[in-house]
Amino acid sequence: MVMTTQILEGISLRNSTIERLSTKIKLLSVQPTLAVIQIGNLADSTAFIKAKKAFGDKIGARVTHTILPDKIKMDGVVALIKKLNADSSVQGILVQLPLPSHLDKHTIIDTIDPKKDVDGLTSTHTQELWEDGSDIILPATARGILALLDHYNIQVEGKKVVVVGRSTLVGKPTAIALLNRNATVIICHRGTENLKEETRRADILIVAIGKAKFINKDFVRSGQVVIDVGINITSESKPRQEVGKKSFVGDVDFEEVSKIVSAISPVPGGVGAMTVASLFENLLDIVEK
């Protein structure tokens, strides 16, 4: 009997999220407003912000976009964030990452009022996540991963989850969120010995390392669920587009791995489709508190 691999696509879930959030916003007395701060003019950052603005337009949320010069000093960034903190017409504040190297990311992020921290990166929300608190704002990609697992009724409680990647935006918060759901979680990284053995032991494998097609057939086994978070620029002759006009592939070799595992998320159209939607889920959570 030939087994069919389930494709965990996020586009239909994103579309239903658009409808649900649009309905919510129509019932609100205020228009939810997200203020995005960009420092410098990196093309990738601009493309991601454009995607946020487009999503906001679809659901009826307002997105403002302020571009600061890449040579700006810390006090200039802090002053703008404090101004937005005090602006009652703004419910969410997001500083687009990455930042120029001369700026202290942690100080900048922690200047954001936790009540407006739509990205869930302030120390207040990090502590809430660690303690499995009731006021968690989960970083958008991590929330998107959980939403995808929930949508396809993939049980995590009692399962062994291996997360490859330990970034503060994806790897760590995803691992802790799944630990809070009673999964047994292992985080792997560049220093992990016998990585292939670790990934093959997983019931659920989540990959977020930024290396195109790094995870191939040798890293997986039948019966696994694989979540690919990677977004890597590619020059493939048949490009798959995710942001702007650039072409992307994941951290997983989809063609190889999809022939072996039980379920896999594609790139594009998987977790990436849910990341922006999850950001606005966070914004609506803040507005409704």
Q: Active-site residue 246, yes or no?
A: no
Phi, psi of 93 (to 5 degrees): -130, 135
Q: Determine the 3-state secondary structure of 6 from DSSP.
A: strand
Cα–Cα distances (Å) from 136 to 75, 187, 197, 211, 285, in that order, read 28, 21, 33, 30, 10
- Per the annotation, the verdict on 52 as an active-site residue is yes
A 10 A CB-CB count for 26 gives 9
Selected catalytic residue, list 116, 117, 119, 172: 119
- Residue 226: beta bridge partners? 205, 264
Exactly one of 38, 91, 96, 224 is catalytic; name it. 96
**With b meaning 16 or more CB within 10 Å and e meaning fewer, what string describes 251-265?**
bbbbeebbebbbbbb
Which residue from 88, 132, 130 is spatially nearest to 287, judged by alpha carbons?
88
CA gap 165, 157 in Å, rounded = 21
Q: Does 98 sit behind a cis peptide bond, omega within 30 degrees of 0 on the bond before it? A: yes
DSSP H stretches of helix in the chain: 11-26, 43-59, 74-85, 105-111, 123-130, 140-151, 171-180, 195-201, 254-257, 271-288
- Which of 189, 265, 196 is closest to 225 using CA atoms? 265
* 121: nearest Cα among 94, 143, 99, 146: 94
DSSP structure string for 32-82:
-EEEEEEES--HHHHHHHHHHHHHHHHHT-EEEEEEE-TT--HHHHHHHHH
Nearest to 158 by CA among 179, 175, 144: 179
Among residues 52, 116, 172, 213, the one annotated as catalytic is 52
Verify whether residue 91 is a known catalytic residue.
no
User: Which residues are designated catalytic?
Assistant: 52, 96, 119
